[in-house]
Every structure is written in structure tokens, then in C-alpha cells.
């Protein structure tokens, strides 16, 4: 696995990449870098997408731009990562292949496994490109509005986000993601919206057009709502979770089936989110990313129902049990 290499495609012809995103995956074959010449090739911008194989909006947007022979302002390097996971049936349903780590948790720390080697290869490529800006383009784990995330709230990061979204999450959470790395230039993550939402495909496409067409990408395009220092509500490894409109007695935790509707709205105190098993461990099935904080500060139990204890704004809410267990149920900030 040492020396894992990415396949490089230089200015691929629209006739070669296929008629749609599925054919585009077949063309790529595996992790790849697409090099697109721009009006000014002395400058470079980097797009990273498909770090998760079930998040196709970025791939679709890239396919559209190449199909239309789009000419960007600068040279563009497009890194398309989890091609094999995305191409595995059912197509665009696997975040990563079974038994492998989440690629976007592999950019810090060990590189011994395949995902670590791929993350290392991607980092090395980006360092070699010396870009002026990096966009990491994703879909959210559930249906919901688009937003951006950054570990810095510098004006340049806000400006990059404004090409894509009207919300920026300024986070102090460190998970080993690509946006946490120091590449010597601003880097943000864009969550274009849910993978099943047509609006997400449009957000990704229009955002890339705006970002790649701008002579100066660091000019604010729209005012942003900035949410600072979110927390993650995580599910403990030994807990089981389901989603239903009534308690699932076979699970430790049941979350409301329509919980995604709470994305980015103000969730008032005493909002019911679901249930925990009667006479069980209650809130002990949950944990926060910050071990110094207690779940009970934000959430409570009333007759087995999970409720909020204060007004919160939830985002990246998922109704996929596998993602809730391997990543988190949602992020939240205090209102």
C-alpha cells in the first residue's frame, strides 16, 4: 500500500467522461486528479470531492462543468477520492467500503491502512499544487439546507463560503478531516445539502461556477450567518438506534422519523426528539465530542422521552442509523 498513487487526467474531453455521473465513475476507475487549464495557469485552485462515496453532488457538478467545456479563471485541480466506494452497488450508497475507516477522518494520524494511504496521497498532491484556495465539497448526512464549515473565521474563509452558502459553521472540533490541515491557504468544507435533494446538485454546480469564475475568490458574495463552536451528539458504541414515529422496543434509542425537519431551525426547549428504553441507561447511551461537557446540560428525559433543555440550532441531522453510530446523530449550537 506504500506509495499509493492517484490517476491523473489532463483536460479530459467531454466525449470521454460519459453522459452522466455513473458513467463518469467508470471513466475514473479509482481515486483521481483532473487537471483543468484556466485563463491564468500561474494560479491554482483545488476542489476535493467524493471523500464519502454516498455524497455525489460534487461529482455531478464537476461532470457538468467538464461536459460544458467550462473555462475557469485559474488552473483547477479536482481530486475525486472514494470512486470505488461510490461505484460499488448500490451506487452512491456507501460512505466507505465495509471495514474501512471514514476517509475524512484520516488526514491526521496513522497512514498504515488503505484509507490512511489515500489521505496521505491526497495531501501530498495538494501541497505540490500550492493552491490559493481549497474547497472540500460534500453532501449532508440527511436532508437539509446547505452550509459551509471552517476551522477559521478569517475573512477569506467567509468569502469562500459565500460562493456556495449563506451559513458558515466555525468549529473547534478536530476529527482528522481535510479542512483541519494547514496547506498554506484558506480551506473550507461545503455541505451542499442532502444527497437526495436536487437543490444540493444545483448548490454544488452554481457554487463551483461562482468560485472558479471569480478573478478574486476572496470577495464576499453574500452576507453569512456564522455559527460558532458546535458540539456533536454521538451514540455510544454499545447502543442501538432506530428511527420511528413511536418507540422501537428492540432499540436502546428511537429518534423521530422526521427529525430532519429540525435542521437549522431554532429548536425550542422541551422539544421532544425521541425515546430511550424504559428502565435502561437513559442519556448514558449518548455522549458529546467534548468529554468535559455533560449531555444532560443540553438534553433531558421526561417519561422516557428525549427532550431539549434549552433552545438549540441543530444541523447535519441524520436518519441513517449507520451514520448516527459511526459519526454522530447531529451537530448543535446554543441559541
- Measure the CA–CA gap between 324 and 302, rounded to whole angstroms: 22
Cell readout for 127 is: 501541497
Task: Categorize the per-residue pLDDT at 3 as very low, low, confident or very high, splitting at 50, 70 and 90.
Answer: low
Residue among 142, 183, 147, 134 at smallest CA distance from 319: 142
C-alpha 19/C-alpha 24 separation (Å) is 7
- How large a percentage of the chain has pLDDT more than 90? 92
Max intra-chain CA distance, the chain: 66
Inform me whether the pLDDT recorded for 311 exceeds 50: yes
Report which of 158, 140, 133 is spatially closest to residue 224, judged by C-alpha positions: 158
Digit-coded pLDDT (tens) for 113-150: 999 999 999 999 999 999 999 999 999 987 888 999 99
Cα–Cα distance between 200 and 161 in angstroms, integer? 15
In the predicted structure, residue 2 carries a pLDDT above the cut 70: no
pLDDT of residue 111: 85
pLDDT value at position 279?
A: 77
The grid coordinates listed for 179 are 479542512
Q: Is the pLDDT of residue 298 over 90?
A: yes
- Per-residue pLDDT reduced to its tens digit, 150-196: 999 999 999 999 999 999 999 999 999 999 999 999 999 999 999 98
Q: What is the pLDDT of residue 5?
A: 87
Q: What is the pLDDT of residues 246-292, one digit of tens each?
A: 999 999 999 999 999 999 999 999 999 999 997 778 999 999 999 88
Contact predicate 132/192, CB 8 Å: no
Q: What is the pLDDT of residues 199-224, one digit of tens each?
A: 999 999 999 999 999 999 999 999 99
Pairwise CA distance, residues 4 & 229, whole Å? 35
Q: Sorting pLDDT into bands at 50, 70 and 90, what band is 1? A: very low
Mean pLDDT across 217-233: 96
How far from chain centre, in Å, is Cα 71?
Answer: 26
Q: Which residues contact 119 (CB under 8 A, 6 or more apart)?
A: 103, 106, 107, 111, 178
Contact 141, 327 (CB under 8 A): yes
Average pLDDT along the chain? 95
Residue 231 has pLDDT above 90, yes or no: yes
C-alpha 248/C-alpha 57 separation (Å) is 33
Query: Which DSSP letter does residue 263 get?
Result: B
Give phi and psi for 207, each to the nearest 5.
Answer: -65, -45
Mean pLDDT to the nearest integer, 1-11? 82
pTM recorded for the entire structure: 0.89
Residues 81, 82, 83, 85, Cα dihedral to 10°: 170
User: pLDDT by residue (tens digit) across 10-51?
Assistant: 999 999 999 999 999 999 999 999 999 999 999 999 999 999
Which of helix, strand or coil describes residue 193?
Answer: strand
Amino acid at each position: 500500500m506504500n506509495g499509493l498513487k492517484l490517476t491523473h487526467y489532463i483536460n479530459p474531453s467531454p466525449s470521454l467522461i460519459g453522459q452522466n455521473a455513473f458513467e463518469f465513475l467508470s471513466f475514473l476507475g479509482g481515486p483521481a486528479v483532473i487537471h483543468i487549464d484556466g485563463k491564468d495557469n500561474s494560479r491554482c485552485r483545488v476542489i476535493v470531492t467524493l471523500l464519502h462515496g454516498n455524497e455525489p453532488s460534487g461529482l455531478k457538478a464537476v461532470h457538468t462543468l467538464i461536459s460544458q467545456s467550462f473555462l475557469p479563471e485559474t488552473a483547477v485541480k479536482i481530486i475525486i477520492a472514494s470512486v470505488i466506494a461510490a461505484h460499488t452497488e448500490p451506487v452512491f450508497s456507501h460512505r466507505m467500503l465495509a471495514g474501512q475507516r471514514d476517509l475524512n477522518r484520516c488526514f491526521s494520524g496513522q497512514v498504515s491502512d488503505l484509507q490512511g494511504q489515500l489521505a496521505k496521497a491526497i495531501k501530498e498532491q495538494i501541497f505540490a499544487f500550492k493552491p490559493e484556495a481549497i474547497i472540500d465539497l460534500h453532501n449532508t448526512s440527511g436532508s437539509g439546507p446547505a452550509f459551509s464549515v471552517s476551522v477559521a473565521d478569517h475573512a477569506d474563509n467567509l468569502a469562500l463560503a459565500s460562493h456556495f452558502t449563506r451559513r458558515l459553521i466555525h468549529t473547534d472540533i478536530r476529527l482528522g478531516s481535510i479542512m483541519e490541515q494547514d496547506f498554506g491557504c484558506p480551506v473550507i468544507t461545503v455541505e451542499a445539502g442532502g444527497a437526495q435533494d436536487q437543490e444540493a446538485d444545483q448548490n454544488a454546480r452554481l457554487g463551483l461556477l461562482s468560485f472558479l469564475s471569480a478573478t478574486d475568490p476572496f470577495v464576499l458574495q453574500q452576507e453569512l450567518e456564522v455559527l460558532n463552536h458546535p458540539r456533536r451528539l454521538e451514540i455510544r458504541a454499545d447502543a442501538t438506534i432506530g428511527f420511528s414515529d413511536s418507540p422501537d422496543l428492540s432499540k436502546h434509542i428511537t429518534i423521530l422519523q422526521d427529525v430532519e425537519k429540525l435542521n437549522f431551525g431554532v429548536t425550542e426547549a422541551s422539544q421532544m426528539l425521541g425515546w430511550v428504553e424504559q428502565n435502561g441507561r437513559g442519556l448514558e447511551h449518548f455522549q458529546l465530542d467534548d468529554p468535559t461537557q455533560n449531555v444532560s446540560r443540553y438534553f433531558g428525559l421526561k417519561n422516557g422521552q428525549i427532550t431539549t433543555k434549552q433552545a438549540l440550532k441543530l444541523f447535519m441531522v441524520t436518519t441513517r442509523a449507520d451514520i448516527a453510530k459511526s459519526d454522530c446523530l447531529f451537530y448543535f449550537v446554543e441559541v
